[in-house]
Amino acid sequence: MEFCQAVSHLDAIGFWTSDAEGRITHLSGKALDRLPGAVSLVGQPLTDVFRGHEDLGGSGRSLRFMLSRRSRLERMAVHTGEGEDRRWWLLSGEARGVSGDSFGGFAGVISEITDERRIAEENADAAMHDPLTGLLNRRQMSQTIQRTLAAYGPGKRPCATMLIDLDRFKQVNDTLGHSAGDALLKQVAERLQTIIGDTGTLCRLGGDEFQVLLPDMEDRGDLGQLAERVIAMVSQPYSVAGSRCTIGASVGIAVSPFDGADADELARNVDLALYAAKHKGRGSFRFFTGELLTAAEDRRQLEEALHDAVTRGEFELHYQPLVGAQSDTVIGAEALIRWNHPEKGMISPAQFIPIAEESALIRHIGDWVLRTACHEAARWPGNLKVAVNISPTHFCDAAFPATVANALASSGLAPERLELEITESVFLADGSDTASRFRALKTLGVRLALDDFGTGYSSLAYLRTAPFDKIKIDQSFVRGVSDPGSRNGAIIAAIVGLAAALGMDTTAEGIETHDQLELMRAIGVGQIQGYIYSRPMNAAAFLEGAGHSEWGITPEGPARQRNERISMFRWIGAIHEDHYYPVVLRNLSATGALIEGLEDVPAGTRFVLYFGEGQLETATVRRVLHEQLGLEFDRSLVNDGNGGLCTRSRVSTYDLVSAGLPTDIENHKIRTPIGSRDGKLTIPAFTSTIGRKAINGTMASGQAA
């Protein structure tokens, strides 16, 4: 006690003592000054006064434990109060007399470390969070994912992750400045937090990339809907620095353990899914699939082949007729490029156009399309028009008007017969250059059409400032137009009225059914393009048709719109009881499928269809025509983000193998496997594990057995 009194005047250090039971017996002046209600603390247990202890000395022991063991207290961080009143202290002490019955309690020093603690917590928080948005940063998110996967692995619990990349964010930075870009990122973060809420963890990886971790989520229907909400909300206009701006979002999705059992594998695969979403056309989402692993190599090979495709004459143009809505008479056609690869056959433009745009080959290819379309259209009789899609990259080339002029001059095509279809992406470039390019094209006398109208964010402004002759109504408005309660018809009617007021023509794309056609006619759409009149045809076939005076086409197609069916020809598996049959999938919709390859199957038979990559869905035979079976699914398939369909949940490879399916079943081409009878694979284990629950309709999402 004498020592404590002798040094109690030293700077900010206070002194304390306790009795053998751990009750406070003395607090020096400094401690009395700083501890709230310190006078009343004498006589109270140390462990009641000081809480939340951390041993900064490294012993890992609690204050209560150290007192009970009569051990030295070495730099114990403790606090008093809660919330805003919380204050932190550094407590050290020595036991006095620990032999026999002479133990007299503790004596030690105490100092306040509230400010230091607050600074340390702020530094720790800064190390965990993005300073701009306040979200978790990349490092902390990586650690969170690693911990989650490690905890979920033994129980095979699913965990989804989304990678979100902002589309057209660079243009905001370039035009409004980096401070406006930072303000926009804050608003995006707030919107994402509103959508994600408590269902997941959100972080900003850096730049304009965000990531979401969604524990215990694997239902791809729910994940797809969440991705669509993210895209829709992020794409709504923003007010930044007094300016109105719009951006978009692309989303990649991967689900552990199906798409990666560890953090590195999951990160690679969700990045591949995002890459695929961005190159699908942006503003979309994509689930990871195994085929994306080989896509990078395929892409490299395609790019190499693309460089020589024009000089080798591997490109050709097909033409889809544009038909007068009221007359059924062909008035022109849209030129659509096709790549006939010598080894791979026909390659979809959806595959090679994004590669061309990234590698600057799009200008070279665009020049070829313009020249070829003009030369071939010049041979058409009458005044049939040809429409050519123009890439934003190609349009923004300063030499583009000259390219158009040269194509017209060399072909002899009248300028008013050439129609250039342009998306609003071209307006993201410098305004003055864009305006001058429009003026140069109109001086040539060509027609301009605004393509994909209604899918962007500022189309009305573009109509006011750009000299368009036509509006093309995107087929996304046509789909579902005849569904009860759909507003698409009212939207199309408004577009038609707007176009009429501005003296513009209208074309509706993607018309496939008679009810869609009749509605377009009733609304007053001027031109129709779609399968109900014709699929794209090669140049010779179109030229032959154009040779007929007043070439008319009778519309042919389904009476009403139905669930979209995807035609295909690939092997899948059909499992009935304890037998696996290889069958051919001919078409697929969200609610059913058409398969062939089985005979004498009565209506009402239950099957489990296996589509590969762990995708199982139960179905009932509803229609039988010889070897073809029409099946109805128990649960609807969902959008896979790539224009296709997938099952909501999946079954792990381990569970499939344990259920009796061989590891090489992915090719589905089983003919006479070991243990089979009459060309079918016998798998009795399947019925006893996965199959029984599936057939009875009790297979829950994420639970294979």
* Confidence (pTM): 0.56
The answer on pLDDT for 534 being more than 80 is yes
Task: Give the CATH number for residue 607.
Answer: 2.40.10
Report pLDDT digits (tens) over 359-401.
Answer: 778 899 999 999 999 999 999 998 999 999 998 888 988 899 9
pLDDT of residue 59: 56
Residue 327 lies in a domain: yes
Residues 190 and 273 in one domain: yes
pLDDT of residue 47: 78
Mean pLDDT, rounded, for 266-272: 92
**Cα gap 564→120, rounded to integer Å:** 58
Asked if residues 12 and 31 have their Cβ atoms less than 8 Å apart, the reply is: no
Give the mean pLDDT of the chain: 83
Report pLDDT digits (tens) over 216-249.
Answer: 999 999 999 999 999 999 999 898 878 888 889 9
Q: Which 3 state secondary structure label does DSSP give 543?
A: helix
Task: Give the CATH number for residue 112.
Answer: 3.30.450.20
Range 76-84 contact pairs with CB under 8 angstroms and sequence separation of 24 or more: 76/50, 77/53, 77/113, 77/117, 78/50, 78/51, 78/52, 78/53, 78/54, 79/50, 79/51, 79/52, 80/35, 80/36, 80/49, 80/50, 80/51, 81/36
pLDDT of residue 432: 60
Report pLDDT digits (tens) over 76-98.
Answer: 888 887 777 788 888 888 888 76
pLDDT band per the 50, 70, 90 thresholds, residue 212: very high
The answer on pLDDT for 428 being more than 70 is no
Structure tokens at 224: 């797809």
Residue 612 lies in a domain: yes
Residue 250 lies in a domain: yes
Mean pLDDT, rounded, for 677-701: 55
Asked if residues 507 and 525 have their Cβ atoms less than 8 Å apart, the reply is: yes
Residues 115 and 135 in one domain: no
Residues 89 and 151 in one domain: no
Report pLDDT digits (tens) over 469-494.
Answer: 999 988 878 877 877 778 888 989 99
What is the helix, strand, coil percentage profile of the chain, to 5? 40, 30, 35
Q: What is the DSSP letter of 129?
A: B
Residues 376 and 512 in one domain: yes
Among 428, 431, 437, which residue's Cα sits nearest to residue 403?
437
Residues 487 and 618 in one domain: no
Between 31 and 173, the higher pLDDT residue: 173
How many other β-carbons are positioned within 10 Å of the β-carbon of residue 671?
9
Residues 451 and 487 in one domain: yes
Residues 598 and 661 in one domain: yes
Between 541 and 123, the higher pLDDT residue: 541
List Cβ neighbours of 109 (8 Å cut-off, separation of 6 or more): 13, 14, 15, 16, 91, 92, 93
Residue 311 lies in a domain: no
Residue 555 lies in a domain: no
In which domain, by residue range, is 52 found? 2-121
Q: Please state the domain count of the chain.
A: 4
Residues 509 and 590 in one domain: no
How many other β-carbons are positioned within 10 Å of the β-carbon of residue 335?
24
List Cβ neighbours of 510 (8 Å cut-off, separation of 6 or more): 475, 478, 479, 529, 530
Residues 436 and 530 in one domain: yes
Domain boundary, last residue among 96, 121, 146: 121
Torsion angle in degrees (nearest 10) through CA of 692, 585, 254, 211: -130
Residue 602 lies in a domain: yes
Residue 691 lies in a domain: yes
Residues 383 and 477 in one domain: yes
Report pLDDT digits (tens) over 284-321.
Answer: 899 998 888 877 677 778 888 888 888 888 999 999 99
Task: Give the CATH number for residue 461.
Answer: 3.20.20.450
Residues 382 and 526 in one domain: yes
Domain boundary, last residue among 487, 512, 534: 534
**Cα gap 325→328, rounded to integer Å:** 6
Task: Give the CATH number for residue 276.
Answer: 3.30.70.270
Between 447 and 153, the higher pLDDT residue: 447
Residues 385 and 526 in one domain: yes
Domain boundary, last residue among 477, 510, 534: 534
Q: Between β-strands 447-453 and 470-473, what pairing exists: parallel, antiparallel or unpaired?
A: parallel
Could you give the percent of the chain with pLDDT greater than 70? 85
pLDDT of residue 54: 57
Could you give the percent of the chain with pLDDT greater than 90? 37
The answer on pLDDT for 677 being more than 60 is no
Residue 703 lies in a domain: no
Torsion angle in degrees (nearest 10) through CA of 125, 129, 134, 135: -130
How many other β-carbons are positioned within 10 Å of the β-carbon of residue 454?
17
Between 32 and 72, the higher pLDDT residue: 72
**Cα gap 507→501, rounded to integer Å:** 16
Asked if residues 628 and 594 have their Cβ atoms less than 8 Å apart, the reply is: yes
Report pLDDT digits (tens) over 587-638.
Answer: 898 899 999 988 889 999 999 999 888 888 999 999 998 788 999 999 999 8
List Cβ neighbours of 390 (8 Å cut-off, separation of 6 or more): 366, 400, 420, 421, 422, 426
Angle between helices 263-278 and 138-152 (to 10 degrees): 120
Cα Dmax for the chain: 120
**Cα gap 140→147, rounded to integer Å:** 11
